[in-house]
Structure formats: structure tokens, C-alpha cells
């Protein structure tokens, strides 16, 4: 098992961490010399979520800006966290192995194909560092989740942005046409954040099959659990078939673990060896989080119930937007994007003044709001505030 925890790999990961720290302090110290435009990309989606939360009104009554699941974590998960506290002076080696084993069994992959970390963000960063090195090109849709490419750009890579199609989906043909001998990685977010659109599974599989023979493809499946059949839509089958695909998953969304921090990638074992050079891996995850993930992984009733409530809140939001005469992009995830009739920052401020946190974007010469799906009472607060300013 490539990522099993034993003393040797612990020492190795500590050494890697030291190397990584040196790498980072070097990268950060060069930040001052980096042009302003590139410095600004450091304010990527992750940090933009944080910034939006920190800047929001102190009385945020509806927290609809970070695509979290307010219905989680489940009762069993909370109980497992409580029980894990007594033994949390211990490193969670055995439990980590149990969790990796559970994921491997469910997905039908060997444990050597799984690399875990404290959320998928550290693994996106490791991929940015590895695939963006030597000034390589990272191809992404635009707009899409910018964490990986913006970190890569900060470290010297070139971010190649390919506009979405008229249906706000990833333009796979146009992305493929951008591949050159300098391409380090193609990044696909499916379903896509911030548009909530999903690609046709067979089309994406064919793309991955073809493209991964030339360059690795990173498929970020953070929101895949919101689809009716996540396993059928996942590109993990392509990893199993031997393709050079990296699939990222997180417990932060439907599982409701955003504050607990647990995620993983599934890829070829040799690919994981490359990413492990830039990731702390298992050692980043706390014992209570590991216990929580073991208790919550594939907890069918909880997942089904959270999904049902999310869909009900989303339908309510659609009806509010329609009644107010607004279009929206039909979403396959726990957020919805729609064009607004006001400058984005002003819209966000007006909503924030009414206790509602949302995010805004500008693309296709329009201002857009992305609203995360919350509890029904939060959606009602959104509706009340929106009606006042729309």
C-alpha cells in the first residue's frame, strides 16, 4: 500500500514536509517580485470563500457562499468524533488504514491507488506544484474552480483558460485543441464550480481516454455525490482501466465535513508517488476526523436525506428566481448561478447587509451571483433579501 503509515514512511513524509517548507518559503519570498496580476490570482476560490466570509456582516443569517452542506455532519459522525476524543493522544495509523480500506473496497481500487489528506485542497496544491513545475501549461475551463491553476500560476506555470460552451459546460474539444508539448495537466471540474453543470459521462470518458495518452487529466469530483448515480458518473473507472487520470474527492460537500477536513485522490500508484513529494498525506488528518469519516463513509440514509433536503431547497430557489423574472443555470450540485442586474460587489454587499452571504462572478460580460443551497429557512432569507433588491 503506497500510502500506508509506518515509521519509515512517516520519517519520509516528515523529510518531504521539510523539503516542501523550503520550497514554499522560497516561493513565498519570490512573491514580492511576482507581477501584481499574478499575486491577485493567489486570491483563488478557497481564499475568496474565506475572504467573503470574513468580510461578511457579523450577523450572517444565511451562509450561502461556500457550497457547504448545512445538514451535516450526521448524528453517527458526531458520536464517533466524541468517542474518538479519549484516544486522540494517539496517531490514527490503524484507523487511517481502516478508512483507506473502506474507500478502496467501495470504489474497487487497490489501496495503493489512494492518497488521502486534510481535504482535497492540499492535493490540488500538490498537483499544482508537481504538474505546474518548469513553467508548464495547465488547461482549464473558464470559469471553473481556480484553486489548482491559480496556485500553479503563482509558482510560474501558465494558466490556459478555455471559455465554457453556450450551455456553460466545459468545452472538451476546445480544451483538447489547446494541448501542446508544454502542457503539464488538463484540469476538469465535474460538476463544475461555479456553474453547476455536468458533462456527459461517455463524452468525458472518451476525452479522458484520448487525452490522458498525451497528458495527465485531473478530474475534480468534489460535487459528484449530488448526482443521481455518482459511481456511474465518476472517472474512477478510467483509473481502473489504467489511464493516467487523477480523480479528486472530498468529504467537505454532501458528507458535511468542510470543517473536519478529509479528502483524497485516486490515481495510478506511480502518479501518487509524484504527488506525495508535495503532500503530507495521512499525517495531516486528525484522529477525530478519521473516526468521523469511518462512521460516515457511505452512510446511505444520511446521504439520501441530505440530498433530498438540498433538492427541495434548490427547487424553492428556482421558483423564487423564476417568479422574480430571472434566468439561472440548472445545477447538478449544491449551488446555483444566475445573472444579476447590478454590479456584483454591490449586489453581494446589499445581500450581506441583509444577513445573506453569496459569491459573485463576472464573465461573458455579465455579473453573476452564485448562491449555495442551504436549509429552507436560509433560502427563505435569501428570497426575502433578493426580492427587496432585485
CB within 8 Å of 81: residues ≥ 6 apart: 73, 260, 288, 289, 291, 292
Contact 279, 17 (CB under 8 A): no
250, 279, 284, 310: residue in contact with ligand PLP (rule CB under 6 A): 250
CA 267, 272, 278 angle in degrees (round to 5)?
135
Tell me if 69 contacts ligand PLP by CB under 6 A: no
Least distance to ligand PLP, CB of residue 340, Å: 21
The CA distance from 229 to 63, in Å, is 28
Least distance to ligand PLP, CB of residue 212, Å: 20
* Residue 239 vs 265, nearer CB to ligand PLP: 265
* Residue 217 vs 383, nearer CB to ligand PLP: 217
Least distance to ligand PLP, CB of residue 128, Å: 12
Q: Enumerate the β-bridge partners of residue 356.
A: 62
What secondary structure does DSSP assign to 53-84, as a single string? HHHS-SS-SEE-SS---TT-S-HHHHHHHHHH
Contact 340, 347 (CB under 8 A): yes
137, 220, 274, 299: residue in contact with ligand PLP (rule CB under 6 A): 220
* Residue 13 vs 120, nearer CB to ligand PLP: 120
Least distance to ligand PLP, CB of residue 191, Å: 8
The number of residues that bind ligand PLP (CB under 6 A) is 13
Least distance to ligand PLP, CB of residue 189, Å: 5
Mask 101-140, x = binds ligand PLP (CB under 6 A)?
------------------xxx-------------------
Selection from 352, 334, 336 nearest residue 389 by Cα? 352
193, 271, 310, 332: residue in contact with ligand PLP (rule CB under 6 A): 193
Least distance to ligand PLP, CB of residue 219, Å: 10
Least distance to ligand PLP, CB of residue 48, Å: 10
125, 160, 162, 222: residue in contact with ligand PLP (rule CB under 6 A): 222
Contacts 24+ apart (CB under 8 A), 339-348: 339/366, 339/367, 339/368, 340/367, 340/368, 340/369, 341/367, 341/390, 342/367, 342/389, 343/367, 344/368, 344/369, 347/389, 348/52
Mask 264-303, x = binds ligand PLP (CB under 6 A)?
----------------------------------------
Contact 293, 99 (CB under 8 A): yes
* Residue 245 vs 320, nearer CB to ligand PLP: 245
Q: Enumerate the β-bridge partners of residue 227.
A: none
Least distance to ligand PLP, CB of residue 272, Å: 17
Q: How many CA atoms lie within 13 A of 366 on its CB side?
A: 12
The CA distance from 54 to 334, in Å, is 22
- Dihedral of the CA atoms 180, 182, 185, 191 (nearest 10)? -40
* Residue 252 vs 282, nearer CB to ligand PLP: 252
* Residue 68 vs 274, nearer CB to ligand PLP: 68
Binding site for ligand PLP (CB under 6 A): 67, 119-121, 145, 189, 193, 220, 222, 250, 252, 258, 263
Amino acid at each position: 500500500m503506497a500510502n500506508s503509515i509506518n515509521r519509515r514512511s512517516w520519517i519520509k513524509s516528515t523529510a518531504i514536509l521539510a523539503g516542501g517548507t523550503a520550497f514554499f518559503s522560497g516561493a513565498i519570498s519570490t512573491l514580492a517580485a511576482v507581477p501584481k496580476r499574478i499575486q491577485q490570482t493567489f486570491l483563488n476560490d478557497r481564499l475568496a470563500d474565506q475572504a467573503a466570509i470574513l468580510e461578511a456582516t457579523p450577523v450572517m443569517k444565511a451562509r450561502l457562499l461556500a457550497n457547504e452542506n448545512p445538514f451535516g455532519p450526521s448524528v453517527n459522525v458526531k458520536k464517533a468524533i466524541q468517542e474518538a476524543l479519549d484516544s486522540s493522544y494517539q496517531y490514527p495509523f490503524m484507523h487511517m488504514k481502516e478508512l483507506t480500506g473502506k474507500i478502496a473496497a467501495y470504489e474497487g481500487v487497490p489501496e495503493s491507488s489512494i492518497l488521502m489528506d486534510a481535504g482535497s485542497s492540499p492535493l490540488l496544491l500538490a498537483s499544482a506544484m508537481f504538474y505546474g513545475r518548469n513553467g508548464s501549461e495547465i488547461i482549464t475551463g473558464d470559469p471553473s474552480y481556480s484553486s489548482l491553476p491559480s496556485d500553479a500560476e503563482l509558482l510560474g506555470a501558465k494558466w490556459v483558460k478555455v471559455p465554457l460552451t453556450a450551455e456553460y459546460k466545459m468545452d472538451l474539444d476546445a480544451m483538447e485543441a489547446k494541448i501542446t508539448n508544454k502542457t503539464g495537466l488538463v484540469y476538469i471540474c465535474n460538476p463544475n464550480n461555479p456553474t453547476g453543470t455536468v458533462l456527459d459521462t461517455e463524452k468525458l470518458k472518451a476525452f479522458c481516454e484520448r487525452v490522458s495518452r498525451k497528458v495527465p487529466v485531473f478530474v475534480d469530483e468534489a460535487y459528484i455525490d449530488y448526482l443521481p448515480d455518482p459511481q456511474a458518473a465518476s472517472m474512477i473507472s478510467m483509473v481502473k482501466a489504467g489511464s493516467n487520470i487523477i480523480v479528486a474527492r472530498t468529504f467537505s460537500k454532501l458528507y458535511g465535513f468542510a470543517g473536519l477536513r478529509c479528502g483524497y485522490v485516486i490515481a495510478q500508484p506511480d502518479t501518487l508517488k509524484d504527488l506525495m513529494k508535495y503532500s503530507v498525506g495521512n499525517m495531516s488528518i486528525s484522529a477525530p476526523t478519521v473516526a468521523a469519516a469511518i462512521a460516515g463513509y457511505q452512510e446511505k440514509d444520511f446521504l439520501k436525506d441530505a440530498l433530498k433536503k438540498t433538492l427541495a431547497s434548490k427547487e424553492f430557489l428556482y421558483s423564487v428566481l423564476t417568479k422574480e423574472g430571472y434566468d439561472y443555470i440548472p445545477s447538478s450540485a449544491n449551488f446555483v448561478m444566475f445573472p444579476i442586474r447590478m454590479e456584483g460587489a454591490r449586489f453581494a454587499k446589499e445581500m450581506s447587509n441583509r444577513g445573506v452571504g453569496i459569491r459573485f462572478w463576472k464573465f461573458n460580460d455579465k455579473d453573476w451571483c452564485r448562491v449555495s443551497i442551504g436549509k429552507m429557512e436560509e433560502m427563505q432569507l435569501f428570497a426575502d433579501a433578493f426580492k427587496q433588491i432585485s
